[in-house]
Structures are given as C-alpha cells and as structure tokens.
Amino acid sequence: MKSNFKFKLKNYGQMFFVLFAIFVGCKRVEKTNDSQLAVEKKVEISSKEIQRILNTKVNLESNLVTDDVTFSLPDNYYFQTSTIDTKDLGEDAKIGKIDLKTKEGYDMVQLTNSLFTLTQLADEYVNVIKDDRPNLLTIEDLKKDRDIDTVYYENKNSIVFSEGKTFTTLHFQYDPKTGSYYIYNGEISWSKEISQEDKLDLAFYFLRNAKNLLSTNLTKQEFEWKDYVENRPKFEINMMKYFFKNFNKEINTFLSVGESSAPAYNGYSFIKLHRITPGKEGLFYDYLNKLAEGKFREAYEEGWAKDLFYSEKQLKITPKGNASVVEITDLYEGKVYSREFMVFTIFNQNHKSFILKTDNRLNEKVVDFYAKMFNYYSENNTLELSK
C-alpha cells in the first residue's frame, strides 16, 4: 500500500464547502460590458482522438484506498483518503436516490498527479459510498444543477462537459464486491492558465483514469521520452516544451558562465539551466561525490555548485543514460524519515557547457519522466520527436 493517508473531517464551514462542490457544482457569474463581449471558438475533439486517449499506454498500480476498496491508479499518482462525517448534513442531502443522511459517513479519495504536487493543476477525487442497492444512481443525477455549455462525451456512466472555461469529467460505477458506489469527479478550473484545447484533452485523460479504477492490468511497461509524449496529457508535454523553448534562447544568446535560468509555471520553477565553464563538467560530479562521502566542509568551498544543490543527508547517485539521479534520504534514529530526488544532466551545445537540473524535492514517481526527458534533450537538443 502506497501513500495512504486517512483523517476525519469534522464538518463546519469546510464540510459545507466540500459537499456543496460535490453535489451541487460551482457556478461562476462574470460581469462584462457589451463592448467587451466576443464569440470564442468552441474547442472540438474527434471520436478517434477520444478513443486514442482512452487507450493510451499507462502503468497502473494497485492502491488500498480504504479498508476494503482497492483502486488501480496511474503510477505517477498519489492519493489521500478522508472520511466525511454526514451527521451535520442537511435533511435533503442526496445523490440521486442515495440518501446520505442514512449513512454514518463515506470516504473521499483525493487524487494528485505527482508532477504537480507543489502547484495544483486540477481537482480529482472519488467518493466511495456504501450501499447494497446497485441501481440508485444515473448520469442524469450527477448532471443535475450543473450549468452545462457543451457536452463532449456522454454514456450511461460518464460525461465530459464544459461550464464556461471550466472542464469537468464525471463517472460512476457500482462495485458489487464491496457494495460501493465509486463516483469520480475531475475538474480543470476556469482560473487555470491552460488553453481550452489542453483542458479538453486533460478531461479525457481523467476519463481514462476513472474507467481504469478497477482495472486488473497491472503489467509494467518501460517508457522512453517518445512514450511519454504519446501517452501523457498534452499540457504536461507542452509545459516542458515551453520551458525548453526559453532555455534555447538562453543557450543561444543570453546566459553567461555562472548564470542560471529557471522559468516558472504558476509561481513554481520545475527545472533550472546553469551555464558552466567548458572543460569543467566533471567538477559537479566531484562535488556530489564529496557530499555523498560526508566531506561537507570540503564540498562547501565549491560556492557555484553549492548554490545549485547542497545537502548533508544521505546521498546515492545513479546514472540513467546521459542523466543522473540523486537520491536524498533523511534518516532519523537509523530509519528512513523521508526520501526525495534530484535529476540532472550535463551537456554541451554551441561550444558551451550547461547543467540542467530539477528541483531538489522531487518525489520518486516523477524521476523516470525527468530522466528520460533530460536524456533525450541532451542527445537531440530538442524535446520534439524525430520524424
């Protein structure tokens, strides 16, 4: 079992907000004046593209999310389970024919894409509600009170739609083995700085996640950068391409020796580019080895390297193609207290030398993604796939 956190929510204002968002949906009222109104082109997606997304390659892991419920989640996802106490709900708190006032409580499983643990991209969760009657819910119940603009997909268990610039995926299924309804909700808010096309694309990856909750196909597949590009949401790949487009400008024109560039998304920088003196590439490896050997005072004298990375925790450095993975383990009384990662590569371009590195607080679930991306870039000087 991995990353299973459970806690009790004791109602009050937070409880009202959670339930209102789940059962009623959020409506946004925008004030405009007529001179500013413009007709936006509605985004479209073909049935062929929908099927491609639903059939994309994904490594699933089995996760025990409650005492008796197991979900198959993408291996780059974390979850956190909360138990919702229903005793303070209104008398008419229902989903379809499910009367929540008759329940002692239910579980909410929050899902988090590990690439965005420090900057939330979207809201994904699954409500787990016990009931021994399998025919109490319809997709019409989940649509109720939603201010839907466009429906992009709908069947008896699922719907993908937009409300203004917010895109939502809803899906439900009944599991007779546990006597539970699993009600999935994935939402990309109007407030996120993401194109409408990328939001719609992401909404169908949410549908893939929802349909895979009870999948038994847990076969692991090795991914290369090409596989990540072809099987992950467009926004994830487009965001990385945006960073590297900025890096290319720095590499070709602006960055001097000793300077760094770290473009940010939503206030958070994922990757840093640092220019070093040609012929000095091995110094960073030497510096890391000193840290790993506990020679902290000697390593600390390397000021430029210290500014990129410094730790007195236990380090393990593992080559992965042209990239390297630094495993940072915090020990407490001889036991592992926490484990984080940093991925880097050193490359030469236009007769200049650079270190490309991630944040020093990576979680294990994104290490392979960054390592394969860095490895591909160091060999091709681009993230674009060769034709």
Question: Quick check: is 203 in a domain?
Answer: yes
- Whether residue 287 is found in the same domain as residue 373: yes
The candidate with the shortest Cα–Cα distance to 355, out of 278, 292, 300, is 278
Say if residue 115 is in the same domain as residue 200. yes
Residue ranges of alpha helices (H) inside the chain are 12-23, 47-54, 139-143, 196-211, 225-231, 234-249, 282-292, 296-300, 303-308, 367-380
The answer to whether residues 309 and 343 touch, using CB atoms and an 8 Å cutoff, is: no
9 pLDDT more than 70: no
Give the residue, 73 or 25, on which the prediction is more confident.
Answer: 73
The residue type of 243 is: F
62, 71, 65, 78: which is closest to 112 by C-alpha? 78
Q: Are residues 308 and 355 in the same domain?
A: yes
Flag whether 283 is in a domain.
yes
Question: 253 in a domain, yes or no?
Answer: yes
Q: Is the pLDDT of residue 371 over 60?
A: yes
In this prediction, what percent of the chain has a pLDDT beyond 90?
70
| Mean per-residue pLDDT, 103-131 | 92
For residue 144, what pLDDT band results from cuts at 50, 70 and 90? Answer: confident
Could you tell me the residue range of the domain that residue 194 belongs to? 6-22+41-211
**Residues 177 and 276 reside in one and the same domain:** no
Q: Is residue 344 domain-resident? A: yes
Q: What is the pLDDT of residue 4?
A: 47
How many distinct structural domains can be found in the chain? 2
DSSP 138: -
- Does some domain include residue 224? no
The residue among 211, 245, 261 that closes a domain is: 211
- Which pLDDT does position 380 carry in this prediction? 93
Q: How far apart are CA 200 and CA 162, in angstroms?
A: 8
Contacts by 311-318, CB closer than 8 A, 24 or more apart:
311/360, 315/288, 315/291, 316/292, 317/285, 317/288, 317/289, 317/292
CB-CB contact of 78 with 365 (8 Å): yes
Give the lowest-confidence range in 80-94, 109-123, 315-329, 333-347.
Answer: 80-94
Would you say residue 258 lies in a domain? yes
Q: Are 103 and 180 within one domain?
A: yes
Kindly report the CATH number assigned to the domain that includes residue 114.
3.40.1000
Over 70: is that where the pLDDT of 197 sits? yes
- Record the tokens describing residue 192, joined without a space: 């996120």
Is 33 a member of any domain? no
State the pLDDT confidence band at 269, using cuts at 50, 70 and 90.
confident
Residue 20: band (very low, low, confident or very high) from pLDDT cuts 50, 70, 90: very low
Above 70 in pLDDT, residue 133? Answer: yes
Q: How far is CA 227 from CA 201, 222, 299, 332, 386, in A?
A: 17, 9, 38, 38, 13
Mean pLDDT, to the nearest integer, of 353-370? 95
Same domain, 199 and 289: no
Q: Is 350 helix (H, G, I), strand (E, B) or coil?
A: coil
111 and 182 part of one domain = yes
300 and 352 share one domain? yes
Assign 271 a pLDDT band (cuts: 50, 70, 90).
Answer: very high
Residues 6+ apart with CB under 8 A from 291: 299, 310, 311, 312, 315
User: Which residue, 159, 181, 211, sits at the end of a domain?
Assistant: 211
Residue 158 to residue 137: CA distance in whole angstroms? 12
The DSSP output letter for 362 is B
Q: Is the pLDDT of residue 2 over 70?
A: no
Q: Which residue has the higher pLDDT, 338 or 36?
A: 338
Core vs surface per residue 89-98: b (16+ CB within 10 A) or e: beeebbbbeb
pLDDT tens-digit readout, 287-331: 999 999 999 999 888 878 999 999 999 999 999 999 999 999 998
Same domain flag for 319 and 362? yes
Question: Are residues 63 and 144 located together in one domain of the fold?
Answer: yes
pLDDT tens digit sequence for 251-266: 998 999 999 999 988 7
Residue 68 has pLDDT above 80, yes or no: yes
Tell me the average pLDDT across 54-70.
97
Same domain, 61 and 205: yes
Evaluate whether residue 343 is within a structural domain.
yes
Q: Do 255 and 196 share a structural domain?
A: no
pLDDT band at 40 (very low <50, low <70, confident <90, very high): low
Reported pTM: 0.86
* 231, 246 Cβ separation under 8 angstroms: no
Q: Looking at this protein, which amino acid is placed at residue 326?
A: V
What per-residue confidence (pLDDT) applies to 281? 87
- Cα 134 from Cα 29, distance rounded (Å): 37
Query: Would you say residue 387 has pLDDT above 80?
Result: no
Strands 6-9 and 77-85: parallel
**What is the predicted pLDDT for the residue at 97?**
85
- Within 8 A by CB and 6+ apart from 35, the residues are none
Point out the least confidently predicted range of 12-26, 73-87, 116-130, 138-152.
Answer: 12-26
Select, from the ranges 16-20, 30-34, 214-218, the one with the highest average predicted confidence (pLDDT).
Answer: 214-218
